[in-house]
């Protein structure tokens, strides 16, 4: 009887441990929204999930603990930062650059290393037209599922491509999907980077039309807003809504007294590392 009770107790303990482990997965505050580049699939296969450790810290807690390193918005002044992820992409990036040039507006482009390497002329155009370039990893993995070493390799690999193309190492990093671990934030802080997410999501990655994208941005934007849009996407992606909405977004927010700046100006930091 005693032996049977001991077996039952051990089984119950295992069930409790299993439930606790399953509940420890981070509850991310940003949606898993960006389209994976078709060209990066081979690189992604080289990665394995990071080892399971202590309970992950969620993005809200990381934001509080590392407020000087991890930014989600700027100061509450009449400034807005337009940011564009996943480029450069010859289908969409040139059209976005054309709009920004016509409007005289500067923006921040978080580029993927795999595309920066493939389209150096677009990288040079972004730079020569006065926009800021940030690091969006090489192959667009979810860093929450990667080790610190894998995170480091993705960042440094892309940084080298950017430096060889436009002549500087970006200070700003945007993790794909907005996801990152505490150990990765600590590495970024130690090495002089600033991590930047957003507080206004256009949701243009869904292939939305102009009016919906415009409503998503203007209905949420305020002083110090960092707006997420895209200048590139995977096979079959459609960013025509972004291209069509962008002039009206700029006009509307300027009429409300907002001034468009790049993230280095908004966050009062340097552009280069």
Which class for 243: exposed (0-12), middle (13-18), buried (19 or more C-beta within 10 A)?
A: buried
Query: Catalytic residue among 27, 85, 131, 136, which?
Result: 85
pLDDT of residue 57: 84
Q: Which of 131, 140, 230, 262 is catalytic?
A: 230
pLDDT in the model for residue 201: 98
Going residue by residue through the chain, which has 273 residues, state the pLDDT in tens, using 9 for 90 and above: 444 444 444 444 433 333 333 333 222 233 334 333 333 333 333 333 434 445 678 999 999 999 999 999 999 999 999 999 999 999 999 999 999 999 999 999 999 999 999 999 999 999 999 999 999 999 999 999 999 999 999 999 999 999 999 999 999 999 999 999 999 999 999 999 999 999 999 999 999 999 999 999 999 999 999 999 999 999 999 999 999 999 999 999 999 999 999 999 999 999 998
Q: 38: helix, coil or strand? A: helix
Q: pLDDT at position 217, please?
A: 98
- ∠ CA(151), CA(191), CA(69), 5° rounding? 85
Query: Is position 85 annotated as part of the catalytic site?
Result: yes
Q: Give yes or no for a contact between 203 and 216, defined as CB atoms under 8 angstroms apart.
A: yes
For the record, the structure tokens of 222 come out as 């305020």
Active site residue 43: no
Is residue 28 within 8 Å of residue 179, measured between CB atoms?
Answer: yes
Residue 13: the pLDDT is: 43
Query: Tell me, what's the pLDDT at 54?
Result: 52
């Amino acid at each position: 009887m005693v032996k049977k009770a001991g077996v039952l107790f051990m089984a119950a303990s295992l069930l409790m441990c299993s439930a606790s482990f399953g509940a420890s997965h981070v509850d991310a505050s940003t949606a898993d929204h960006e389209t994976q580049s078709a060209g990066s699939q081979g690189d992604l296969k080289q990665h394995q999930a990071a080892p399971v450790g202590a309970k992950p810290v969620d993005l809200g807690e990381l934001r509080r603990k590392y407020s000087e390193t991890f930014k989600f918005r700027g100061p509450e002044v009449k400034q807005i930062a337009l940011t564009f992820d996943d480029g450069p992409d010859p289908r969409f990036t040139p059209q976005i650059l054309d709009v920004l040039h016509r409007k005289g507006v500067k923006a921040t482009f978080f580029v993927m290393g795999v595309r920066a390497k493939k389209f150096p002329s677009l990288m040079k155009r972004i730079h020569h037209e006065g926009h800021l370039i940030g690091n969006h990893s090489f192959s667009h993995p979810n860093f929450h599922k990667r080790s610190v070493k894998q995170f480091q390799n993705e960042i440094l690999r892309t940084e080298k491509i950017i430096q060889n193309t436009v002549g500087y190492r970006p200070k700003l990093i945007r993790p794909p999907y907005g996801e990152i671990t505490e150990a990765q934030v600590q590495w970024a802080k130690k090495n002089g980077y600033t991590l930047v997410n957003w507080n206004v999501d256009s949701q243009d990655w869904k292939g939305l039309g102009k009016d919906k994208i415009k409503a998503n941005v203007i209905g949420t934007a305020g002083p110090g807003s960092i707006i997420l849009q895209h200048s590139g996407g995977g096979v079959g992606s459609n960013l025509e809504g972004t291209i069509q909405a962008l002039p009206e977004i700029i006009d509307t927010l300027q009429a409300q007294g907002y001034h468009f700046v790049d993230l280095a100006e908004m966050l009062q930091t340097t552009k280069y590392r």
